[in-house]
Each structure stands twice: as structure tokens, then as C-alpha cells.
Amino acid sequence: MYDSLEKICQQCEKTGKSFFKVVCHQDCNEEDLSEAQVIERMHKMYDEMRRSNASYDAKRRSTSGLIGGEAGLLRQRIEANQMISGDFISCVMEKALRVASNNACMRRIVAAPTAGACGVLPAVLLTYQEKYETEDEDMVKALFVAAGIGGVIAQRASLSGAQDGCQAEIGSASAMAAGALAYLEGGDNETICHACALALKNLLGLACDPVGGLVEIPCVKRNVIGAVNAVTSADLALAGIRSKIPADQVIDTMRSIGQHMSSDIKETGIGGLASTPAAKAWLKKQKNEYKSH
């Protein structure tokens, strides 16, 4: 697995291969599989993402009862033509909610890169495919681009909220999705890296402070911001707007910010939103309910 985006780009230049191929071939080596096998596997991941979006049921609730129905509400507003956001962004928002709340409700999802951030990539990719009728084959290539970016983040920093806060989960997912979108829109390697850098910069410092330690609040709704941020960051990069800080250095920054974060806001359910009066009141109620069962 590559430990810098710069190295991936250099490898592309050296071999004349595309970003997606370089990432794909590296995995072939690592797992001792053929290119066709690895691509087939990624196809399955994309199919699962599609399935996880399709299987949403607005009536379903999470074990805690805190999550469920959000995407249904948004759908009503979309159908009433009331959305301030445009058509594309509205669909992205809805899918992010659908997949992330499926996760909270114990349905099957693709952890990409984590379960908590599972709504970001499907929201962006499935909406893109719907709008532009892109072939599955190209969507899968875009997933390799996203995986390459995620791999670099895993090597230089981490993809774990417990280690580096939510920036490492929603932030990483957003950076991966931004790169994938830039690729789908025909952006060159430089543009892919800038889209990634711009997306991650916007979410630096994001705390992992889930209420009751559950992957529900604020996680589900943060998938929406991760997905929308990926779209806007890709557009910025494709317009030629550059991140003055290179992507690898943004990733290093995420790591150092993660190290500075108190453990109270790293998936412990102690600080941040988890320590608000509203969260504490809910937890107290929840404990009493468990006792009475």
C-alpha cells in the first residue's frame, strides 16, 4: 500500500499507467491476485453499496431508537420541490442518510473506510451514476481511486475515530469521494490530489463525540456533510482551484491534530456532544429502560 499520494503520482508518470491502475496493481501484488480478480472484487463492493442504499426503510429504527426516518423526511421535501440545495446535492444528501442510517439500524453496509462513514462514498458515486449514466466499470475504477487515497491516509495517519477523531472517518471518506469524483469528471492526477486535499482540509479537527458512544448521533448526519463536501471540493479542484498545502501534508496535519485531541473526543463518548445536558438526559432515560427490561 502506498504511503503517499505523491508516490502514486510518480508511479503513474514512471509507468504511464493511470491512477486507478497503479492502485489496483499494487493490490494485485499484495494479495497475489490477478487484475481481473481484484476488479471483480471491487465490482462486488460497488454492488453492495447499491444494495445498501436500495434496502433503506424509513420505518426502521436503531436499537436505541435515536435514528430512523430521516431520509424519508428529506425525500418528502425533495418531492415537494422545496429543497434549497439543487437536485444533485439533494440526492447526495438523501443517499448519505439512507446508507448511514441502515448502518445504525444493523443492516448490511460496506465499511468505506469505516462503518460510521459508510454513507459518504455510496451517496456521491450512486448519485453521479444516476445523473450521468456512467458504466459500472468506470464507477469501479473510481472506487480504486478512492481506495488508493484511503490507503495513503491509513498509512500516514489513520482511519479510526478512536485514534484521530471523526476527521479520520468522515474526513477521510470525504477526501476519498472527492478524489473519486474528480477522476470521474476526467480530472488528471494533480486534480484528484487537490480535490482530496481540499476536502480533507475542510474537515480537519472534527471530533468523534458520539452520544452514548453509539454510531448514531452525530455520525449519521455527518455522513451528509462528508458527501456534500466531497462534491464541492471536487468542483473546486476541477475549476482549477488549488490547495496550497499538498494532500500528503494535509494528511500529516490530520494526524498531528489527532494527536493533540483529548481522548474525551476520540470515540469514548465522554466529551463534546456526548457530554451535553441533552445527551446525558437521554442516557439516563436509556439506562432506566434497560433496567426495567
Partner 1 sequence: MNLFEIIGPVMVGPSSSHTAGAVKIGNLSRRLMGQDIVSAVIQLHGSFSATGKGHGTDRGLIAGLLGLDCDDENIVNAFDLAKQAGLTFSIDECDLGPDAHPNSVRMELYGNKGKGLEIVAASIGGGRIQVREIDHMRCVFSGDCPTLIAENDDRPGMIAMISELLTDRNINIATIQLDRSSRHGHAVTVMEVDNEIDAKDLLWLRHQAGIIKIIYLSMEENNNVR
The reply on whether position 238 binds partner 1 by CB under 8 A is: no
Interface region with partner 1, contact rule CB under 8 A, candidates 84-92, 96-104, 198-206, 226-234:
96-104
Q: Which is nearer to partner 1, 213 or 246 (CB)?
A: 213
| Half-sphere exposure in the Cβ direction for 1 (13 Å, CA) | 13
Interface region with partner 1, contact rule CB under 8 A, candidates 130-138, 152-160, 198-206, 230-238:
152-160
The answer to whether the peptide bond before residue 113 is cis (omega within 30 degrees of 0) is yes
Q: How far apart are CA 119 and CA 56, in angstroms?
A: 12
The C-alpha cell that represents 284 in the structure block: 439516563
Q: Give CA separation, 212 vs 217, 275, 286, in Å.
A: 9, 9, 10
Q: Letter for the amino acid at 3? A: D
- The 157-186 contact track toward partner 1, x by CB under 8 A, reads --xx-x-------------x----------
The residues in 122-151 that bind partner 1, with binding defined as CB under 8 A, are: 143-144, 146-148, 150-151
* One of 68, 116, 187, 218 touching partner 1 (CB under 8 A): 116
Per DSSP, 117 falls in state T
According to DSSP, the residues that pair with 266 across neighbouring strands are: 208
The C-alpha angle with vertex 45 and arms to 236 and 266, in degrees rounded to 5, equals: 65
Neighbour-count burial of 273, counting CB atoms closer than 10 A to its CB (0-12 exposed, 13-18 middle, 19+ buried):
middle
- The 34-73 contact track toward partner 1, x by CB under 8 A, reads ----x--xx-xx--x-------------xxx---------
Q: Which is nearer to partner 1, 236 or 279 (CB)?
A: 279
* One of 109, 181, 200, 227 touching partner 1 (CB under 8 A): 109
* One of 83, 115, 204, 238 touching partner 1 (CB under 8 A): 115
SS3 269: coil
* One of 113, 165, 218, 272 touching partner 1 (CB under 8 A): 113
The residues in 215-234 that bind partner 1, with binding defined as CB under 8 A, are: 215-216
CB of 85 to partner 1, least distance (A): 26
Backbone angles phi, psi at 114, to 5 degrees: -130, 170
Contacts of 145 (CB under 8 A, 6+ apart): 19, 20, 23, 179, 180, 183, 192
* One of 111, 241, 278, 281 touching partner 1 (CB under 8 A): 111
Q: Which is nearer to partner 1, 78 or 105 (CB)?
A: 105
Number of chain positions touching partner 1 (CB under 8 A):
52
The C-alpha cell that represents 176 in the structure block: 476519498
Q: Letter for the amino acid at 284? A: K
The reply on whether position 110 binds partner 1 by CB under 8 A is: yes
Q: How far apart are CA 210 and CA 158, in angstroms?
A: 19
The reply on whether position 23 binds partner 1 by CB under 8 A is: yes
The reply on whether position 214 binds partner 1 by CB under 8 A is: yes
The reply on whether position 254 binds partner 1 by CB under 8 A is: no
Q: How far apart are CA 72 and CA 56, in angstroms?
A: 9
Where do contacts with partner 1 occur on this chain (CB under 8 A)? 1, 23-24, 27, 30-31, 38, 41-42, 44-45, 48, 62-64, 102-116, 118, 121, 143-144, 146-148, 150-151, 154, 159-160, 162, 176, 212-216, 269, 286, 290
